[in-house]
Amino acid sequence: MKNGVVIVGAGHAGVQAAASLREEGYDGPVILVGDENELPYHKPPLSKTFIKDAEAKPQPLRGEAFYSGSAIDYRPGVKVDRIDAGGRLLDLAGGGALAFDHLILATGSRPRTLPLPGSDLSGVVSLRSLADARLIRDLSAQSDEVVILGGGFIGLEIAATLRAAGRTVTVVEAVDRLLGRAVAPVVASHVRQRLEATGVRILTGTSVARLEGENGSVVAAITSSGERLPARMVIVGIGAVPNVELAQQAGLAIANGIRVDHQMRTSAPEILAIGDAASYRHWFTGGDVRLESVQNATDQARLAARTIASHADAYSAVPWFWSDIGDMKLQMVGLTAGGDSHVVLGDLPDNKFSIYHYAGDRLLGIESVNRPGDHMLGRKMLGAGFSPSPQTIADGPEGLKAALAAFLEKEPARAAG
């Protein structure tokens, strides 16, 4: 145990893994290496608040004192270039090497790029890091007109945020609806209506053919139908790709992410992978998934620490996610792909409702808009393996709480889930 654990990537997953190792009583060296030159920070506020407020400060995941106080050797601004899996050694960019007993890959994901004429112009940006957010904030101060490519969560959050800051915002989405398959069509069209009511222009079923520049800076996006959308800033938000290159070069198994087992071990057992970069067989659906959420990153980090501390738990967290788009708090729990029916609670015009998705009589997941109570209850139900009938759902939250309590009384072992 002389070399301890090295964690590559100081984002949500990496920092939680370092903290959890200490919580698990691991007393060997813990080295956290990150290629950003920052105190590790929360990513979700970047698209929701940070970019519209010149005074906003990044929100650190942990205070500076946490790292020294927990004997975590945090090394910012250090990029790992190569893994020698057999020799248990990392090569660092700029020279130097680091030996490990265990390695945790928490390298996250990066924005997908769009190969488009003009995409190298100044003012064409995407949002992943604090450095990106600072750039968008600076550009936004000089850009009345903004075009956002992609109608996914991050694109729509940015659209709502910049619109609230007074910008003219157009979202261009290639398919015929917003939010891809992430939410039910009824939720996607609700989000669209409310965003449009604030003045965001949304073009679906439309792509951007090219970007037009002047003196090296973007000035317009030209759509597939030939429309010219003036823009001093174009934000590309068309999804993310996992950072798997280090793992790939080291010969680890890859499957739309670094393939891990139920204990977060890669195909080399002393190397684990967690967070956005990791792909695993999900206990809930039986399919391979790679999730991009804070919950997934932090829960997998806790489990990786337990694996290294020799606990034999399997990953069984119920996935959940949130997004704030203007006046809508969207919260999702479970995985709803494969659903064949749904029940609605609440009221769309009130901007407060939840959709309960079923496959046959099995509850798969719940999408809520401004109904946090439904979301929290849903996490308890799915965590306990409780699948209420659509009729019980229709009875409303009080009936559901009573049904869950009755279920847990019969099956108390499930209460911890």
Contacts to ligand FAD by CB under 6 A: 8-14, 33-36, 43-44, 46-47, 79-80, 106-108, 127-128, 154, 243, 246, 275-277, 292-295, 297, 321-323
CB 149 to ligand FAD: min, Å:
15
CB 116 to ligand FAD: min, Å:
21
Comparing CB distances to ligand FAD, the nearer of 53 and 347 is 53
Comparing CB distances to ligand FAD, the nearer of 132 and 395 is 132
**Which of these, 98, 119, 148, lies nearest to 210 by C-alpha position?**
119
Strands (E), 348-404: 352-359, 362-369
Comparing CB distances to ligand FAD, the nearer of 35 and 395 is 35
**Which of these, 225, 251, 342, 240, lies nearest to 293 by C-alpha position?**
240
Comparing CB distances to ligand FAD, the nearer of 78 and 393 is 78
Comparing CB distances to ligand FAD, the nearer of 284 and 407 is 284
Comparing CB distances to ligand FAD, the nearer of 200 and 246 is 246
CB 355 to ligand FAD: min, Å:
19
Comparing CB distances to ligand FAD, the nearer of 47 and 354 is 47
Closest residue to ligand FAD, based on beta-carbon distance: 11
**d(C-alpha 336, C-alpha 62), whole Å:** 33
CB 304 to ligand FAD: min, Å:
11
CB contact set of 95 (below 8 Å; sequence gap of 6+): none
Note whether 222 and 210 are within 8 A (CB): yes
Compute φ and ψ for 220, nearest 5 degrees: -165, 155
Comparing CB distances to ligand FAD, the nearer of 323 and 354 is 323
**d(C-alpha 98, C-alpha 4), whole Å:** 10
Note whether 218 and 124 are within 8 A (CB): yes
CB 388 to ligand FAD: min, Å:
25
CB contact set of 13 (below 8 Å; sequence gap of 6+): 106, 108, 274, 275, 276, 297, 298, 300, 301
CB 74 to ligand FAD: min, Å:
12
Angle of the 185-197 helix axis to the 153-164 helix axis, nearest 10: 20
Compute φ and ψ for 94, nearest 5 degrees: 85, 5
Classify burial at 281, counting beta carbons within 10 Å of its beta carbon; exposed 0-12, middle 13-18, buried 19 or more: middle
CB 139 to ligand FAD: min, Å:
16
Residue 240, both tokens = 């993310």
CB 136 to ligand FAD: min, Å:
10
